[in-house]
A and B are shown apart, each in its own frame.
Chain A
Amino acid sequence: MIKGEGLRGAFQLLLRPTYQTHTALKNVSFTIESGSFVGLIGANGAGKTTLLKILSGLIPPSSGEARVLNFEPFRRPLEFRQKISLVMGQKAQLWWDLPASDAFELLRAIYEIPLKLYQERLHTLTELLDVKKHLNTQIRRLSLGERMKMELIGALLHWPNVIFLDEPTIGLDVFAAHKLREFLQVFNQREKATIILTSHNMDDIERLCPRILILRSGELIYDGPPGSLTRQGERRLRVRLMQNPGIEELGAVSGVAHKNISLAEKDTAHGDAMGAIHFDLKQEQIVPVLQNLMTRFQVVDMGIEEQSLENVIQRLYEGIP
Chain B
Amino acid sequence: MNLEWRWAALKNGFQDATVYRLEFLFEVLGSALVPALIQWVLWYALFKVGGATQIAGLGYSEMLQYTLASLLFTQIRGGNHDFDLAEMIRTGQLSNYLLRPVGVVEFIFIRGIAPKLFLAAVCLSFGAIASLWLNSSPLRMAGAMALALLGNIIHYQLSASLAALAFYWEEAYSILMVKNLVVSLLSGELIPLSLFPSHYQWIWKSTPFYLFVFGPIQFALGQWSFNEFLGQIGIASLWLLVGWALVRASWGLGIRRYLSLGG
Q: Which of the segments A32-40, A54-62, A206-214 contacts the partner chain? A: A54-62
Q: Which of the segments B43-51, B151-159, B254-262 contacts the partner chain? A: B254-262
Which residue of the partner chain B has the closest CB to A52? B260
Q: A58 CA to B98 CA in the complex, in Å? A: 7
Q: Is the CB of B262 within 8 A of A90?
A: yes
The answer to whether A49 has its CB under 8 Å from any CB of chain B is yes
The answer to whether A2 has its CB under 8 Å from any CB of chain B is no
List A residues 61-92 near B (Cβ within 8 Å): 76, 78, 81-82, 84-86, 88-92
Contact of A60 among B7, B101, B256 (CB under 8 A): B256
Q: How far is the CB of A165 from chain B (nearest CB, A)?
A: 13
Q: Is the CB of B19 within 8 A of A97?
A: yes
The answer to whether B228 has its CB under 8 Å from any CB of chain A is no
Q: Is the CB of B260 within 8 A of A53?
A: yes
Q: Is the CB of A98 within 8 A of B95?
A: no
Q: Which of the segments B8-16, B138-146, B237-245 contacts the partner chain? A: B8-16
Which residue of the partner chain A has the closest CB to B91? A91
Q: Is the CB of A112 within 8 A of B2?
A: yes
Residues of A within 8 A of B11 (CB): 106
Q: Provided the pairs A53-B260, A59-B258 are in contact, do residues A110 and B16 lie with their beta carbons within 8 angstroms?
A: no
Residues of A within 8 A of B263 (CB): 49, 88-91, 166
The answer to whether B5 has its CB under 8 Å from any CB of chain A is yes
Interface residues on chain A, number (Cβ under 8 Å): 34
The answer to whether A102 has its CB under 8 Å from any CB of chain B is yes
Which residue of the partner chain B has the closest CB to A78? B101
Which residue of the partner chain A has the closest CB to B260? A58
Contact of B8 among A86, A95, A97, A109 (CB under 8 A): A109
Q: Provided the pairs A58-B260, A60-B256, A166-B263 are in contact, do residues A106 and B12 lie with their beta carbons within 8 angstroms?
A: yes
Q: How far is the CB of B110 from chain A (nearest CB, A)?
A: 11
Given contacts A98-B15, A106-B8, A110-B102, 14 further A-B contacts (CB under 8 A): A56-B99, A58-B95, A58-B260, A59-B260, A81-B99, A82-B101, A84-B99, A86-B95, A98-B19, A108-B8, A109-B9, A110-B5, A110-B8, A138-B19
User: Which residues in A have some Cβ–Cβ distance to B below 8 Å?
Assistant: 49, 53, 56-60, 76, 78, 81-82, 84-86, 88-93, 95, 97-98, 102-103, 105-106, 108-112, 138, 166
24 contacting pairs across A/B (C-beta < 8 A): A56-B99, A57-B99, A58-B98, A58-B99, A58-B258, A82-B101, A88-B263, A89-B263, A90-B262, A90-B263, A91-B95, A92-B96, A93-B96, A97-B20, A98-B12, A98-B16, A103-B12, A105-B8, A105-B12, A106-B9, A109-B5, A110-B8, A112-B2, A138-B19
A-B pairs, top 8 by smallest CB distance, nearest first, are A109-B8, A90-B263, A109-B5, A81-B101, A58-B260, A93-B96, A106-B12, A110-B5
